Amino acid sequence: MSESSSRQVTSGVRQLLIEADSAGQRLDNYLLKVLKGVPRTRIYRGLRKGEFRINKGRVKADYRLVEGDVLRVPPLHQPEPGAAPVIPGFWAGQIQSRIIYEDAGLLVVNKPSGLAVHGGSGLNFGLIECLRQLRPQDRYLELVHRLDRDTSGLILVARKPAILRELHRQLRGEGVDKRYLALVAGRWPRERRMVEAPLQKNIVQSGERMVKVAKEGKASVTGFVVLEQFPEATLVEARPHTGRTHQIRVHAQFAGHPILGDDKYMDDATAALAHRLGVRRLFLHARSLSFTLPDQPRLQLDAALDPELEEILKSMRK
């Protein structure tokens, strides 16, 4: 590439999955936002010519996006965003060793705590950027769902658009069974097996964006089962029936039993208990996933607790 053209790169055809946050937007406004540096005239010319397609069909500029839509973006000249972030060797090694399932359409990773699922908000990289650099042979890698940065455990990454659409369809219903392990403060009552409380996100509190229970929030349901009780804490299995941001964490707090190590939602007493028990990170782990892939029997995947969390339980059992 010559010096004069080094500021421009040409992308190939891309397939973008429309997520819930973008649902309802006009297509042209969405494109202007995500295709930074591409002239407006080029975007509108592409819309008129049918180069941008939704679910393989032609659409107009005023089309309202729907969650789950697959948007085809044609090859475009865009300003080069700069060199790709260099993935530290520590994270590269962690991710390579934590891929627990792989087939032609799907990767499943046991995500380590401390790694965001994607870059943004001041982060140069996350799990998906790491995977794309580690696996350049994969032309398509997209997150199926998300985990909080400090939550460890199983996360799905699609290698084909059709698998992404199918798993999103299952996630919108009850087709994907997700189970988490959490160590919460106090003795969770065995008879309390469900927390149903609407959640509202992006509440700014002390300059930090939070989620809270609010009647104007979105309906949210989490099942809880007591697995093991200790004098000051309880190991529970949590099953989210809805998929709201921070759902398990806020529902545990709402029930009066914050998750140990949760810097966002635990109170001072819980923070002191976490310190005393040696909990140095959020004790929340996505331990199992069950779902169905096309033409395959139902798949059940499990990931054991990370060693530092298992050690805390062993210490408490003594």
**Closest of 131, 126, 133, 197 to residue 158, by C-alpha:** 131
In this structure, what are the phi and psi dihedrals at residue 225, rounded to the nearest 5 degrees? -130, 130
**Where do the CATH 3.10.290.10 domains begin and end in the chain?**
7-79
What is the topology classification, in CATH, of domain 174-317? Pseudouridine synthase (3.30.2350)
Strand, coil or helix: what is 123?
strand
Q: Over 80: is that where the pLDDT of 7 sits?
A: no
Q: Judge whether 177 counts as a catalytic residue.
A: no
Q: Mean pLDDT over all residues of the chain?
A: 88
Q: Over 70: is that where the pLDDT of 3 sits?
A: no
**Where do the CATH 3.30.2350.10 domains begin and end in the chain?**
89-170, 174-317
Select which of 148, 150, 262, 263 is catalytic. 148
Looking at residue 316, its pLDDT comes to 95
**Alpha carbons 52 and 73: distance in angstroms, whole number:** 5
Residues in the chain: 318
What is the topology classification, in CATH, of domain 7-79? 3.10.290
pLDDT band for 136, please (50, 70, 90 cuts): confident
Looking at residue 207, its pLDDT comes to 59
Homologous superfamily of 89-170: Pseudouridine synthase (3.30.2350.10)
> Average pLDDT in the 249-260 region?
98
